[in-house]
Amino acid sequence: MDGISPGNRLIEALDAADRDALLSQCVSIEFAPGHIFHEPGDPIDHVFFIEHGVVSAVAVLQDGRTVETVMVGCEGVVGGLAASTPRHAFTRNVAQMAGGARRIDVARLRALTAARPAVRDVIAAYLAALQAELEQSAACNALHRAEQRLAKWLLRCHDRVGGAAFNLTQEYMASMLGSQRTTVNEAAQSLQKSGAISYSRGRITVLDRATLERAACECYRAADTFRLAHHRED
Ligand SMILES: [Zn+2]
């Protein structure tokens, strides 16, 4: 966990009384890569405050192709839309990297948000930021080059994982970006040539974060859901 303290940022933002009330209703869980929290159409019975690890919300098309819509780590919550009203999942919520979360039953969460407005507000603020990120993503997917988008995506993984290296197969990156494998391969080779990353046998190492940031499109900064910067120790 170098550089990032474990713990969910939304829970940490609450005062002690609200935080204790929420945590008393939660169960700690661990998840492995590939773990599916919700499939499209599933009723959202539980909400997950992610403490470490990375979860992707993935749109699944009828032909089986997938593309990531948002990435969630310790700054956020999976299934948060169900905090106010009953919901079904639109996307597949799947763990990209192993981690842990605080899980709460939605009925309990709704009772809690009714009694404690600060809990409701912290989730609402996160969801509003996520909506802004989604709107930016629509432009990004249509207009920005694969290399820029890959750089943005790797920065987001790097922010959430905390370590310099992580395992990502080309197939996986291609399915997250909605691109062909060959396109992702070319983009990764180009980032490697610039010295930003090394990429070998599915293992990505961020060598030069500043170079990777320059390679990313503006959307990395525009998506302001991510507020880990001041939690970094470096
Ligand atoms: Zn972009």
Please give the biggest Cα pair distance in the chain: 54
CATH number of 9-140: 2.60.120.10
Q: What percent of the chain has pLDDT over 90?
A: 63
- 39-77 pLDDT, tens digit each: 999 999 999 999 999 999 999 999 988 888 889 999 999
Overall average pLDDT of the 115-126 stretch: 95
Cα 29 to averaged position of ligand 1 atoms, centre (Å): 33
pLDDT at 169: 83
Cα 30 to averaged position of ligand 1 atoms, centre (Å): 32
Q: Give ranges for CATH 1.10.10.10 in the chain.
A: 145-216
Cα 183 to averaged position of ligand 1 atoms, centre (Å): 16
For ion ligand 1, residues whose CB falls within 5 Å: 140, 144, 217, 219
Strands (DSSP E) along the chain, which ranges? 27-31, 36-38, 46-60, 66-72, 77-78, 92-105, 165-167, 197-200, 203-206
pLDDT tier at 20 (50, 70, 90 boundaries)? very high
**172/174 Cα distance (integer angstroms):** 5
Q: Give ranges for CATH 2.60.120.10 in the chain.
A: 9-140
**Into which CATH architecture does domain 145-216 fall?**
Orthogonal Bundle (1.10)
The answer to whether the Cα torsion of 152, 219, 176, 170 is positive or negative is negative
Cα 99 to averaged position of ligand 1 atoms, centre (Å): 27
Read out DSSP for 131-191? Answer: HHHHHHHHHHHHHS-HHHHHHHHHHHHHHHH-SSEEE--HHHHHHHHT--HHHHHHHHHHH
Cα 216 to averaged position of ligand 1 atoms, centre (Å): 7
